[in-house]
């Protein structure tokens, strides 16, 4: 049995006539008659009976028509689902993101646009630092990520540069430093600093420490925390100051002031990263959203 048998049967049943059905689906009447005969032979049942006015459904035919319509509806739904998936309009897109990149700017703008234009697409977002996102991309557990790219990028990963953030000083708002518009590295010589441990992101850690040393400062690190959320909590508590991403200004804690660092050379390149070999159609949709915003595409590996 083939799908055309079902379609031809429905056309005849709904038209009540082989002639009208042939006109409706643009198939010759003998061809339709032969296909209905084949269908009845396959089923071992008579579906239609001829009358003076045309054809009528037998009781078995009424049952088959009801189920045949369900089958056609299911087939059409399956076809639509496949078309949506292959065009990137449905399916699942698994993304990693650094927390501070998700509050404002290109990341939420892109995801909002993607969801608005493709409501059938499921977007799963995991909060991960950059090295963790690279691991997810290489292993295949992530389709793409929003990273801060420092050092070598794993082979096979492409990046689209979205923005460049700065490093700023986060300081308790009741400290004298909070009253300044900008702060030099020299002013931080004896200031207790809350920092992230090197293993969290070695390439960025080394870049940050090297820039401080070139400016004549050795950070007096008094405590380490793995995330900027935890670091800012300690700054809020007055434990110390911290060098953090300027993107944190989008969710400034009540007890923290962000102060610019004078002549500090480090920039934080927010980039969209994905494996060149990833063939998820939804990934192409997101790339289309990101590229018109002036983003630059880079290859790695």
238: left (phi over 0), alpha (psi -120 to 50) or beta: left
Structure tokens at 283: 């990934």
Rounded to whole angstroms, how far apart are CA atoms 241 and 47?
83
- Residue 299: how many other CB atoms lie within 10 Å: 10
Q: How many residues does the chain have?
A: 301
- Helix and strand totals (H; E) in the chain: 9, 13
| Per-residue confidence (pLDDT) for residue 292, from 0 to 100 | 61
- Could you list the mean pLDDT of each consecutive 10-residue stretch along the chain, which spans 301 residues? 84 87 87 88 89 86 90 84 74 92 91 91 94 96 96 92 95 96 95 96 96 95 94 96 94 94 94 95 91 51 38
Predicted structure pTM score = 0.74
Give the start-end residues of each E strand in 80-211.
91-97, 121-127, 144-148, 157-172, 182-183, 192-195
CATH code of the region 88-301: 3.40.190.290
Burial class (CB in 10 A: 0-12, 13-18, 19+), 76: exposed
Q: Which CATH class is domain 3-86?
A: mainly alpha
Q: CA dihedral defined by 60, 61, 63, 68, rounded to 10 degrees?
A: 140
Residue 163's DSSP bridge partners are: 270
Rounded to a whole number of angstroms, the distance between the first and last alpha carbons of the chain is 51
Residue range(s) occupied by CATH 3.40.190.290 in the chain: 88-301
Read off the pLDDT of residues 33-70 as tens digits, 9 standing for 90 and up. 898 888 888 889 898 988 878 888 999 989 989 998 99
Residue 97's DSSP bridge partners are: 127, 146
Residue range(s) occupied by CATH 1.10.10.10 in the chain: 3-86
């Amino acid at each position: 049995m083939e799908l055309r048998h079902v379609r031809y049967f429905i056309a005849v049943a709904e038209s009540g006539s082989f002639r009208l059905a042939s006109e409706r689906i643009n198939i010759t009447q003998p061809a339709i008659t032969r296909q209905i005969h084949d269908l009845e032979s396959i089923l071992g049942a008579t579906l239609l009976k001829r009358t003076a006015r045309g054809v009528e459904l037998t009781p078995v035919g009424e049952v088959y028509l009801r189920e045949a319509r369900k089958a056609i509806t299911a087939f059409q739904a399956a076809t639509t689902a496949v078309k949506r998936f292959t065009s990137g309009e449905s399916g699942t897109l698994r993304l990693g993101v650094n927390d501070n990149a998700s509050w404002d700017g290109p990341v939420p703008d892109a995801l909002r646009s993607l969801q608005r234009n493709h409501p059938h697409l499921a977007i799963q977002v995991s909060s991960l630092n950059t090295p963790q996102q690279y691991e997810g991309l290489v292993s295949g557990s992530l389709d793409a990520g929003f990273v801060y790219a420092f050092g070598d990028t794993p082979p096979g990963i492409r990046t689209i540069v979205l923005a460049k953030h700065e490093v700023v000083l986060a300081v308790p708002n009741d400290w004298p430093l909070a009253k300044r518009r900008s702060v030099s590295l020299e002013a931080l010589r004896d200031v207790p600093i809350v920092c992230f441990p090197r293993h969290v992101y070695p390439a960025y850690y080394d870049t940050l420490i090297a820039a401080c040393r070139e400016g004549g400062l050795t950070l007096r690190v008094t405590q380490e925390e793995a995330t900027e959320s935890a670091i800012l909590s300690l700054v809020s508590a007055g434990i110390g100051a911290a060098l953090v991403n300027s993107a944190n200004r989008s969710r400034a804690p009540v007890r923290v002031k962000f102060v610019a660092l004078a002549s500090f050379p480090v920039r934080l390149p927010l980039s969209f990263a994905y494996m060149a070999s990833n063939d998820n159609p939804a990934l192409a949709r997101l790339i289309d959203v990101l590229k018109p915003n002036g983003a630059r595409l880079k290859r790695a590996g």
